[in-house]
Structure 1
């Protein structure tokens, strides 16, 4: 059934159908960030069904998502929005939205989702969909119209991540001589690297398997007693070598740098390491709550 939103805007909303697949994939592609894979029908199918290999546990808590498309007067699909309810706390989630950054379309899609989810509290862009490589929040510099539409609707944004990328291979970095590489117990699409000295774990990293030639550095950790010896930089070099060997031509990472300087979660040192290794910032990622 088609729901007319506003004769003035000339947009109507209706449920997504398979005939919309190509148009929706083009909308998603128009918003694709550097370091993100080209969207495919298989990725879209997973997102429509409410599945994702990243943040899978959070997706499992949701009812099946609703997906609506906005159609203009000529019948062109101008936007798409997905939203769902989390029954355990009766919270609404605005999951993903694409509209070629047209302000009126963003306003219409967000307004419809809020009307359908009312009177629940609503969170927007809180975890990663199958349409991305772990992109958990909204890239505000690349998606300004969507960010502004959320604010007009009453949402408050919270800065969560610094999103960075680099080309591979990455020459010039040191490497650890003895690193064990195996499956990551926390995810079937990842590999864990472990470095030990005298039998003790001193450093580790987790990398995501490449998708479309793009790998993810999920995290690096150095044990407190082993810090100050350059192990972080050497583990970074080893992790990027592993990704290159797996076929990655570029790598992305997310730094949760919202903590103030001096806080135990301060990421100043991590940011300096990544920047000196050739990573550049693509965007800042925000999630939203109402």
Structure 2
């Protein structure tokens, strides 16, 4: 029996909210907040605090659900086209990791998009705190469905997490004061004696006890002096003061990154971060089999 004969598709309705939230939350990753009705509403509207520029370039998304023979919602998919280019985007998909339902949802989205090429899981949605792309170890059925539908996958990001159980466990920081940014995040900058910035770190305000280390950089001329480790220490202590019990981060160490992230990975592992999953992006070009 083909996947498409197992379920039928119809547009998402407001009465589907509870069922869809349950399905989406079954795919929750460690370090990610439980998806709320408000987060779902943002995703349905095509908005996200992370990657907001990408979302603004899309036409309004369409969200459809997969329904089984009893009328129960068993999956959901959201997709959109680019406002100015002939490219389609499979934005997010959840199906309790039932591969037949995943394949039916992917097939349906591709057929409805009808574009020359389709990108899948290309940027972060409002359903997560910055999870850009598909966590393949937690979402193996969806990964297989995409490959069966003619997509090619690419490993992009490392998603890492660390508990913040005690201030005593944190490495020594720089002692620099944090500055609150316009976007609500906090930034710590380090300058040399001439006032030039040599390093910075940006963290997100904790949500449900989880903070995010969004960004850390050290200028090349200041490397090799322990500044990176000190900045991480300052960031972790700041997150504890803001109420975080754990912290997550993302390392763009896939082929697309274009440079070596070995030092960054070694730094994060040395202070206690552990990998949760690898995040993959997918494309289906014009030469790929039709979905």
The answer to whether the aligner puts 1:282 opposite 2:276 as a matched pair is yes
Q: CA deviation at 1:12?
A: 1.0
The 5-angstrom pairing of residues 124-135 of structure 1 reads 124-135=120-131
Aligned with residue 184 of structure 1, among 160, 181, 184: 181
The answer to whether the aligner puts 1:101 opposite 2:97 as a matched pair is yes
Contact 1:67-1:82 at 8 Å conserved across structures: yes
What is the TM-score when the length of structure 2 is the normalising length? 0.92
Q: CA deviation at 1:172?
A: 3.8
1:215 corresponding residue in structure 2:
211
Q: CA deviation at 1:8?
A: 7.5
The answer to whether the aligner puts 1:266 opposite 2:260 as a matched pair is yes
Contact 1:9-1:104 at 8 Å conserved across structures: no
Q: SS in structure 2 opposite 1:69? A: strand
The count of aligned residue pairs is 281
1:63 corresponding residue in structure 2:
59
Q: CA deviation at 1:211?
A: 1.7
Q: CA deviation at 1:7?
A: 9.4
Q: CA deviation at 1:183?
A: 2.9
CA RMSD of aligned residues (A): 1.8
1:229 corresponding residue in structure 2:
225
Aligned with residue 197 of structure 1, among 182, 185, 192: 192
Question: Structure 2 CA distance, aligned partners of 1:207 and 1:7?
Answer: 43
Decide which moves more: 134-143 or 83-92.
83-92
Contact 2:61-2:79 at 8 Å conserved across structures: yes
Q: CA deviation at 1:162?
A: 0.5
Question: Structure 2 CA distance, aligned partners of 1:248 and 1:70?
Answer: 37
1:3 corresponding residue in structure 2:
none
The answer to whether the aligner puts 1:24 opposite 2:6 as a matched pair is no
In structure 2, list runs of 5 or more residues that go unmatched. Answer: 285-291
Greater strand content: 1
Question: Structure 1 CA distance, aligned partners of 2:244 and 2:9?
Answer: 39
Decide which moves more: 46-55 or 9-18.
9-18
Q: SS in structure 1 opposite 2:102? A: helix
In structure 1, list runs of 5 or more residues that go unmatched. Answer: 1-5
The answer to whether the aligner puts 1:173 opposite 2:167 as a matched pair is no
